A and B are shown apart, each in its own frame.
Chain A
């Protein structure tokens, strides 16, 4: 039952969430109902949810792909903002191409920059022995600092007064909605779903994915089999980073219209939660991203109706993540315990099992 910890953690974190609200004297069950209403209650709520889920699918891949090779990368935010920045600035230099070609070039350069950034993590780990979790976190801070410096400095559009931004994209370069009337969600959702499906095929059905599982499972064995361990690890990092970079490109060209501080709203961070909830399975990421996107989308409704602070949904996300880790550890222990019990039952010889 691979999904068991996720299901259990959703149940337990909602229970804790209810307690948390009840403790403050807020109408807990009403709030819970509002979370569902705000996330999935109407077609507008669905659109809002999916709009937020789209980048989460891509940033979750930035965690899930390296995780196949045994790495825990938490720096997707950095790849996203740099990818977005690269996409926003490319049209300033690359003029004269038809809009579609420019958009494709923007996507490419965003993926390239994001892939380079996370690939750098993989390289530092394999060649310099740097812990990839710490390394990716620090590189993410550097990326955000670099982003702020460029957007508020050399790349700033002088006409952006209150909110420093890069020069706005031409209207022809704005990616529109999938359907203006009936389904107002931008095309990033399609990109996210396609990327997840492709990633699923890669990890579950391809030779490379199998090799990645070997590397993630036991590096000594991978070396004994002659697998190019370093190359495989760096490859997953590059692919994951490319996905996060692409998320940045869609945020710029479908939502913001330029690169500015609104890119740094934690999509990279929430992607970690999504990937862990999906147990690094790319198809499950689609579902979990929708769930987390829904929780985020319900924030404004909670604020309007119950006068709860905006951070309330962050509390719920945090509960979800801690519960997930707790249940994962517990379920693992329960499985071990069950196997031991079975073995005990199988041993009819009466040989005593030594504990400890």
Chain B
């Protein structure tokens, strides 16, 4: 058997004070497909970058074919026969298939004997379970074919443990089916072992032999796929029940109140032009927190962007307080719509501007920050910033410092200060505590509850089930751009939510059809 086995023991890595990986141990058996599941930020990429040597691990041992190996650089892992296929293509589109393959070898002479190389390549292709015409320019290949070329490249370079980083995110379902099927067959023949990062359950149950789940940098479990269920995996990914706090006694929502935020049959296209959100409807009443649960990549990002005004919707409408809402500044100010988007530096701040200016983004065109209707009052901006920095404990407490130089928690606190000091009536929140420390999480959750208590309608999109169960009055589950389940938070249980997050009934049917 040429396939390699890989054992990881106690892998750890931290970035500054942030522990990205803590004591992760798992084994990839030779000739199997091993799936690595986890939410964004769970540490999957950090782990595989450690294995291929792009970001060496701080601590831990790697055993390849039961022999301990030091992997400090990609050169080391390549020498051992470990290769990685990245999420985004690393082929040169201007060159042909043959040129891409030959040039990926690091050991070329100054003169390339193309007739000989072509002959060898053709012989190589004959041995492969899938082929590409070596003369074709890469720019003419479809996404699935490019992915195949990436895999062929690994085989051509004689790699026998191949790591795939979300291999199907750029493929159509049919292409994904084909590529993963080929990988599985080659593994079962003993040619290669595969370690595959994913967060799609369907791929795990159809193509993987073993599965390991990471959550917040720790290994939650590692098992054979046949010995587990999608519901169990969902629970592993989203967090176990032990940390669920008692729901704080809250004023019940008035069920007869008219919805403040009303989304009707909204469809939104993603960057590729296909519908990521299709005919989605939901309503949030005043004084209510509605949570949206879902595995990431099911349309949450596009939905948030449409609600924030960052993305045009394809059809349907958003109503706030009964009136049609186009996300213009005047509507936001009149209806008091605020938001805490994910990645605040990318979505809610201007990194190069000062903290003071960033704190003024919501009200720079209103008195007292603006005089005579058109003049900016820099002193008032400064005064407002000093007060908010004090109140929300932003560090360092320097209003003139560019906000991009602050730490993540402080950036999020500054955004919180801007978005939540005023009277808030509608609030759109997406993964607000992602990557933050415990203290910041507590502050943000408290502020969200305060907003609810003051009668705001809060829509909370989160990949953290604990957060949703703790904060929400009602939980909706989004799957492939549609709401497929709704439940009151006090009646929600993880297994049911996990079942619907994984696609409910219809995912199982498709699996049966594909087999």
A binding-site residues for B, Cβ under 8 Å: 205-211, 213-214, 217-218, 220-221, 223-228, 339, 349, 351, 353-354
Contacts and interface: CB of A to CB of B under 8 A. Distances in A.
Contacts of A224: 308-310, 339, 341, 347-348
Given A207-B364, A207-B365, A224-B339, A214 B350 contact: yes
B328 interface: yes
Contact of A354 (B15, B351, B362): B15
A242 to B, nearest CB: 19
B327 interface: yes
Interface residues of B, dominant DSSP: loop
Contacts of B328: 226, 228
Given A207-B375, A210-B376, A217-B352, A226 B346 contact: no
A205 B373 CA distance: 12
Interface stretch (B233-241, B261-269, B329-337): B329-337
Nearest to B330: A226
Contacts of B346: 218, 220
Contacts of B360: 210
A272 B375 CA distance: 28
B376 A209 contact: yes
Contacts of A207: 364-365, 370, 373-376
A223 B376 contact: no
Contacts of A353: 16
Contact of A211 (B16, B327, B349, B365): B365
B361 A225 contact: yes
B350 A221 contact: yes
Contacts of B373: 207
Contacts of A220: 310, 346-347
Nearest to B365: A207
Contacts of B333: 226
A209 B361 CA distance: 13
A226 B376 contact: no
Given A206-B375, A210-B364, A228 B329 contact: yes
B65 interface: no
Nearest to B309: A223
Contacts of A221: 347-350, 361
B353 interface: yes
Contacts of A214: 350, 353, 361
A213 B374 contact: no
B329 A226 contact: yes
A50 B375 CA distance: 31
Contact of B351 (A205, A218, A351): A218
Nearest to B337: A226
Contacts of A218: 346, 349-351
A106 B328 CA distance: 37
A221 B414 CA distance: 14
Given A205-B375, A210-B364, A226 B327 contact: yes
A226 B361 CA distance: 10
Which of A225, A353, A354 has the most B CB atoms < 10 Å from its CB? A225
Contact of A208 (B14, B347, B352, B374): B374
Contacts of B309: 223-224, 226
Contacts of B361: 214, 221, 225
Interface string B368-396: 00100111100000000000000000000
B405 interface: yes
Interface string B459-481: 00000000000000000000000
Nearest to B370: A207
Which of B308, B328, B331, B362 has the most A CB atoms < 10 Å from its CB? B308
B174 interface: no
Given A223-B309, A224-B310, 10 more contacts: A213-B350, A218-B349, A221-B348, A224-B339, A225-B362, A226-B329, A226-B330, A227-B329, A351-B16, A351-B17
B55 interface: yes
A208 B375 CA distance: 9
Contacts of A227: 329
Contacts of B348: 221, 224
A348 to B, nearest CB: 13
Contacts of A213: 350, 353, 357
Contacts of A211: 364-365
A223 B308 CA distance: 7
29 contacts: A205-B376, A206-B374, A207-B370, A207-B373, A207-B375, A210-B357, A211-B364, A213-B357, A214-B350, A214-B353, A214-B361, A218-B349, A220-B310, A220-B346, A221-B348, A223-B310, A223-B327, A224-B308, A224-B347, A224-B348, A225-B329, A226-B309, A226-B330, A226-B332, A226-B333, A227-B329, A349-B17, A351-B14, A351-B17
Contacts of B16: 351, 353
Interface in B290-323: 308-310
A224 B344 CA distance: 11
Which of B55, B330, B333, B347 has the most A CB atoms < 10 Å from its CB? B347
Nearest to B15: A354
A296 B47 CA distance: 60
A206 B310 contact: no
Nearest to B418: A225
Nearest to B333: A226
B406 to A, nearest CB: 12
Contacts of B350: 213-214, 217-218, 221
Nearest to B344: A221
A281 to B, nearest CB: 15
Contacts of B341: 224
Interface string B220-239: 00000000000000000000
A183 to B, nearest CB: 33
Which of A221, A223, A349 has the most B CB atoms < 10 Å from its CB? A221
Contact of A339 (B327, B362, B405): B405
Nearest to A213: B353
A206 B376 contact: yes
A137 B15 CA distance: 45
Contacts of B347: 220-221, 224
A224 B310 CA distance: 6
Contacts of A349: 17
